[in-house]
Structure 1
Amino acid sequence: MPRTRIDSRPVGRATARDSRLYEVMDLMLDSVGDPLALGSLAASASYSSYHFDRIFRELTGFSAVEYQRKRRLRRAAHLLRHEPDVPVGRIAQDCGFPSNAAFSKAFRQQFAMSAKEWRDGGWRAYMDAQVGRESDVSFFVAEPSNLAALQAPYCPPEPGSIAARVTVRQLPALRLRYQRFFGQSGAALSLACNAFICEHERAGGVARGTSWYGVFDEDPGFTGEREYCYDFGIADDTLDDPALGLRVLPGGMVACLEFAGEWPRFRAMYEDWLEQQTVWRLDATRPHIQRVQRGAAGDDGWQGWLALPVKKR
């Protein structure tokens, strides 16, 4: 399926090479707990193993082995934070590590602490010091003239203020035509998504007020800009553009925060609602989803919702 890469250059269509590599990246995420067979991955992209590893490094900045190792460790970090009753050894196994010793060494190298220290609260210090707020902006279509809210330091909400607005609901599956943004976050990503919307509004066929969706498959608090992978697009029945990627967002239970004329962040939902829960916990097998649309107030009146995938404890 064709996909689009966005970087600091103007918006443009993906090359066939990038499209194939993005498909491999998705395959790696879906099989994060399985052994990594470089030959099979290379063959799926129609490359030799040597050529595949070279061009994969050009696109991502990492070898395929290193990229998958980082994804496995982020998945483990995610589970350690949100699945406190699952033994560390089970998480290591589910994330593709051959032994507890191998996992312990790799985890400490990546996060500068043990898995136990991480689970006991070390993840919060890592998120604040190593990743920072740039990877926790949850509203990605700000107007170029109104970036102050995105660039402001994160301020925790008043206790209970976000939780009071969260509702748990069943979200249906959705077919999405999307453009992939890789290696970008924060204000740059916000502006790129805004430009993507404006491009399709100007071209016709997409009315102002149409719903747009952003999808992030990992914990946004643990992923730095170089590895940030974000899909942004529109429902398949709204825009039939074969130049865009096509994916199906799985249905399921989500914790939903609706907003209008404000700039909410997933972090506030995590801290004010999710971490206080006795009934629900995060479902790491499904993505974070955001829906945004222009409100009646015009360019600055954005509205929509944030959705955390959840499951019963």
Structure 2
Amino acid sequence: MTIRDMPPTHAAQAVLTHRMSPAAACVAPRVSVSRLSRLYEVMDLMLDSVGDPLALGSLAASASYSSYHFDRIFRELTGFSAVEYQRKRRLRRAAHLLRHEPDVPVGRIAQDCGFPSNAAFAKAFRQQFGMPAKSWRDGGWRIYMDAQVGRESDVSFFVAEPGELTALNAPYCAPAPGSVAARVTLRQLPAVQLRYQRFFGQSGAALSLACNAFICTQESAGMPRGAPWYGVFDEDPGFTGEREYCYDFGFDAGVLADPGLGLRVLPAGMVAILEFHGEWPRFRAMYEDWLEHQSVWRLDATRPHVQKVARTEAGGWQGWLALPVKRR
């Protein structure tokens, strides 16, 4: 029996089983919906202010916790303390900028990502990625990416049916040179208010099943079958290990009211779009076949990667991948 064949109550249980890491699963009964939503908002604030000092007390107060209880609940939810979580996000932002902003000095990137000195940044970066920042910029990022998440370093955001997991988990096969670039278009996307479920510590098949179960549950609650769904990843998936994955999946807040979900706004901005129908293209192909050959556009690390998908009348999937870009 697939998740789609389950009764609604069983499908809902499947969502709980697949959508949470073991650490996150134990936190749900003890955290109210409103407080969980505030924790999500705090995490988003941490990402938006990645270069600022981490005021743990202020973050805890905004989520209606003491500093001690905030850090404990945060660790149960994500698997990391708030300080460790922010440090890892700072380092991934730095890795992102080192790859995509080759003309920005390393010291400036360290400062913009919240490190008090170049020495502190150099030590933390080497500990996280196993090489100096200069080696990373000179191509070491590719070695790390393939070794760290080789099976999924090219990961896109999955919502496919459980029966399609074999195709989704197949090793990456680079497209013919220029074939993806020829399909990429540039578009100004409007802002979207999103109701979402946040997934921690999952990728690949587990994430695909979790998103599929989430869709089934929402459709049983009244979501139209042809409505669009959005997958959102705030960082480069290739630099993020499975334990550190933080992925939002949801729908336009105007389509269905569900106060039990988080609420965020996908910012407006210029994106590179790759449309697809009946296939599951990868962001890696967009990076390597289009972005890395661009003289006009570069990645905008301040906005998220987004996938939009919808069911076709025949029951398949179509949509697009959106890579946030800005002018050089």
Q: TM-score range by the shorter chain?
A: over 0.9
- In 2, the alpha carbon distance for the partners of 1:189 and 1:136 equals 15
**Could you tell me which of 282, 303, 314 is aligned with 1:297?**
314
**Could you tell me which of 237, 243, 259 is aligned with 1:242?**
259
- Is the contact made by 1:135 and 1:186 (CA closer than 8 Å) also made in structure 2? no
RMSD: 1.8
Residue 13 of structure 1 and its aligned partner are, at CA, apart by 7.2
- Is the contact made by 1:175 and 1:236 (CA closer than 8 Å) also made in structure 2? yes
- Is the contact made by 2:230 and 2:306 (CA closer than 8 Å) also made in structure 1? yes
- In 1, the alpha carbon distance for the partners of 2:219 and 2:65 equals 37
Residue 41 of structure 1 and its aligned partner are, at CA, apart by 1.5
Residue 18 of structure 1 and its aligned partner are, at CA, apart by 3.5
Matches within 5 A, 1:187-206: 187-204=205-222, 206=223
**Could you tell me which of 61, 66, 84 is aligned with 1:48?**
66
- In 1, the alpha carbon distance for the partners of 2:63 and 2:28 equals 18
Alignment correspondent of 1:156: 174
- In 2, the alpha carbon distance for the partners of 1:228 and 1:158 equals 29
List per-residue Cα deviations over 1:37-67 (Å, max 9, x = no partner): 1111222222222222222222222221111
Alignment correspondent of 1:308: 323
C-alpha change, 1:197 and 1:279, in structure 2 (3 Å) is: same
Residue 146 of structure 1 and its aligned partner are, at CA, apart by 1.5
Q: For structure 1, which runs of at least 5 residues remain unmatched after alignment?
A: none
Q: Does 1:90 align with 2:103?
A: no
Residue 217 of structure 1 and its aligned partner are, at CA, apart by 0.6
Residue 239 of structure 1 and its aligned partner are, at CA, apart by 1.0
1:124 is paired with a residue whose SS is helix
2:95 is paired with a residue whose SS is helix
- TM-score if structure 2 supplies the norm length? 0.89
Task: Tell which deviates more after alignment, 135-144 or 101-110.
Answer: 135-144
Matches within 5 A, 1:79-228: 79-134=97-152, 136-204=154-222, 206-228=223-245
Q: What is the identity percentage for the equivalent residue pairs of Structure 1 and Structure 2?
A: 83
Alignment correspondent of 1:73: 91
**Could you tell me which of 21, 29, 47 is aligned with 2:47?**
29
2:152 is paired with a residue whose SS is helix
C-alpha change, 1:164 and 1:258, in structure 2 (3 Å) is: same
- TM-score if structure 1 supplies the norm length? 0.93
Aligned residue type for 2:79: G
Q: For structure 2, which runs of at least 5 residues remain unmatched after alignment?
A: 1-14
- Is the contact made by 2:153 and 2:284 (CA closer than 8 Å) also made in structure 1? no
Residue 27 of structure 1 and its aligned partner are, at CA, apart by 1.4
Higher share in helix = 2
Q: Does 1:259 align with 2:272?
A: no
List per-residue Cα deviations over 1:155-187 (Å, max 9, x = no partner): 111110100000011111111111111111111
Residue 194 of structure 1 and its aligned partner are, at CA, apart by 0.9
Residue 135 of structure 1 and its aligned partner are, at CA, apart by 5.2
- In 1, the alpha carbon distance for the partners of 2:112 and 2:212 equals 38
